[in-house]
Amino acid sequence: MEVSFGIWQILILIIIAVLAIAPVVAIIDITKGRFKGANDRLIWILVVLFLNPLGTLLYFLMGKD
């Protein structure tokens, strides 16, 4: 029994891995980062968790100083 992966299956696995790892990296960065307001950290964590993967993309584009 030979298991072979096509290029599309490997590409899909890479995309799934990135979509699973990116929010974790974003949340770690949020918890270690400095924010101006008291609630900014909490708001960004909620955005990343509830609007994944859009929230993660928004944080990396807009949230980082």
Distance from C-alpha of 1 to C-alpha of 25, rounded to nearest angstrom? 38
Q: Over the chain (65 residues), what is each successive 10-residue block's mean pLDDT?
A: 77 93 95 86 95 93 82
Say whether 35 sits in a helix, a strand or coil: coil
pTM of the model: 0.80
What residue segments make up the domains of the chain, in order of their start? 22-63
Q: What pLDDT is stored for residue 45 in this prediction?
A: 95
Q: What pLDDT is stored for residue 59 in this prediction?
A: 94
Contact 24, 58 (CB under 8 A): no
Mean pLDDT, the chain, rounded, equals 89
